[in-house]
Amino acid sequence: MHNQQTLKLLFVINPVSGGKEKNDWETSIRDYFKDIPHIAEFYLLTGGNDKSSLQHYIQTITPDRVVAVGGDGTVKMVTELLKETSIPLGIIPAGSANGMAKELAIPLVIEEAIKIIMEGKCEKVDCIKINEEEICIHVSDIGLNAMLVKYFEKSKKRGMWGYGKAIFKVLWEKQKMAVTITTDEGTVKRQAYMVALANARKYGTGANINPDGNVSDGKFEIIIVRKLNVLEIFKAIFTDRSFRPEKIEVFSTTNLEMEIHRKAYFQVDGEYKGKVKSIKARILPGVINVMLPVLEEEKVAVA
């Protein structure tokens, strides 16, 4: 056990996060810790056998906190290793979208993010278990957005040009799905362009798919997008406005079984998973401890 004054932190760095234009994250972190009595250890992801190697490293050095330095993919991988343990997760946003960091109000400035890891509050956060195989920390969906993720991953163009090209392809191919959805409240059948499973409120792009979402309420939302046009698609990519209520339907639940009449595009936390005909999901309440910013009203209450 480390003493109260000295913390051992393990920084898990994805060196390819955020594209070619990126900071030297390790140097910035070392600079922050050079004059303070805490221990900073580093693990650089290689894209190889990262998960099992990192798990062994965590067990070997027994850090007080593990920090994901990357985008949603890095945060998700570290979450999978820390879930149901007492080790808190810290986040330094270093990806392209940083959806979960935005959801949790983690600042993009590295010094401010580290300060939260050192001095913030530790709170339990939910995850969604998908098909008993993997977790979703943020938002998963079938249909149009998953198709967009697939085409964007395949595109040689990145940034807005890549999104633009992918959007036009999606617009050309868009079609409705027939879905049967069973939740805590019963079973419904719908025609939809997209069905999202949302632990959080927003996509990494900022689109507010689930305005009333809460990552710590022991539930997740199912958002059925029944009507869609060109304006709605561009809104989903480029703005932080909510979807119009008359175009969506929302269910709050702890469990989901969904059948799709034919295979549909599926993505989890921004990673395309292929086509599926069915999905099962359940909430994992408070499964991960996360270092979060202390709100101003909380500071006042303590004072």
* Whether residues 77 and 203 fall in one domain: no
Which of 61, 92, 119 terminates a domain? The answer is 119
* Whether residues 105 and 189 fall in one domain: no
* Whether residues 172 and 274 fall in one domain: yes
Range of the domain at 97: 8-119
pLDDT category, 147, cuts 50, 70, 90? confident
pLDDT of 168 = 56
* Whether residues 74 and 212 fall in one domain: no
Half-sphere exposure (CA, 13 Å, Cβ side) for 75? 33
* Whether residues 279 and 170 fall in one domain: yes
Is residue 127 in a domain? no
pLDDT of 17 = 63
* Whether residues 170 and 262 fall in one domain: yes
pLDDT of 303 = 46
pLDDT of 237 = 55
Decide: 37 and 118 in contact? Cβ < 8 Å.
no
| Alpha helices (H) along the chain | 25-33, 50-61, 72-82, 99-103, 110-119, 144-154, 159-173, 230-238, 296-302
pLDDT of 20 = 43
Which of 96, 119, 142 terminates a domain? The answer is 119
Q: List the CATH number of the domain containing 174.
A: 2.60.200.40
pLDDT digits (tens, 9 = 90+) for 197-255: 999 998 777 778 888 899 999 999 999 988 776 566 566 555 666 666 667 899 999 99
- DSSP states of 84-116 as a string? TSSPPEEEEE-SSS-HHHHHTT--SSHHHHHHH
Averaged confidence pLDDT in the chain: 85
In angstroms, the CA 46 to CA 52 distance is 12
Is residue 209 in a domain? yes
Is residue 302 in a domain? no
**Residue 15, pLDDT above cutoff 90:** no
* Whether residues 225 and 90 fall in one domain: no
| Residues 6 or more apart whose Cβ sits within 8 Å of residue 109 | none
Who has greater pLDDT, 158 or 242? 242
Structure tokens at 95: 């990806």
- DSSP states of 221-256 as a string? EEEEE----HHHHHHHHH--PBPPGGGEEEEEESEE
pLDDT of 66 = 98
**Residue 158, pLDDT above cutoff 50:** no
* Whether residues 90 and 169 fall in one domain: no
pLDDT of 21 = 43
Is residue 298 in a domain? no
Is residue 297 in a domain? no
State whether the Cα torsion 184-241-16-39 is positive or negative.
negative
* Whether residues 145 and 102 fall in one domain: no
State whether the Cα torsion 75-163-221-282 is positive or negative.
negative
* Whether residues 149 and 241 fall in one domain: yes
pLDDT of 30 = 95
Residue with tokens 């969604």: 128
Is residue 292 in a domain? no
DSSP label at 277?
Answer: E
Is residue 2 in a domain? no
* Whether residues 212 and 265 fall in one domain: yes
Q: List the CATH number of the domain containing 83.
A: 3.40.50.10330
* Whether residues 161 and 238 fall in one domain: yes
Number of independent structural domains in the chain: 2
